[in-house]
Amino acid sequence: MGKVSPKKIEDLIKKGRLVPVIKSDSDGKHFLIGYKRKSTSRKHKDTFMLPEPEEIQVPNFSKK
C-alpha cells in the first residue's frame, strides 16, 4: 500500500473505518499506539502506528 496522509487517516477514523489499537502496561495505564482497519474490511491488513504512544484515560465501569 502507498503512503496515506494524516488527513486521509483522520477521514477514515471519522467514517468509522479504522479502530484504535490500545495497549495496557503493568501500572494499569492505557496507551493508544495506532489504528487498524476493522476485521470485516477487505483491506484488513492495513495498520497505521503513531510515532509515539499517547496515554489515554479509560473510564472505570465498576458495579456498585
pTM surpassing 0.85?
no
pLDDT digits over 10-42, tens only?
998 899 989 999 998 888 889 999 999 888 887
Question: 37: which residues sit within 8 A by CB, 6+ positions away?
Answer: 17, 18, 19, 43, 44, 45, 46, 47
Q: Domain residue spans in the chain? A: 6-56
* Phi (first) and psi of residue 9, to 5 degrees: -65, -45
Q: Please give the pLDDT value at position 55.
A: 92
E strand or H helix at 12: helix 6-14
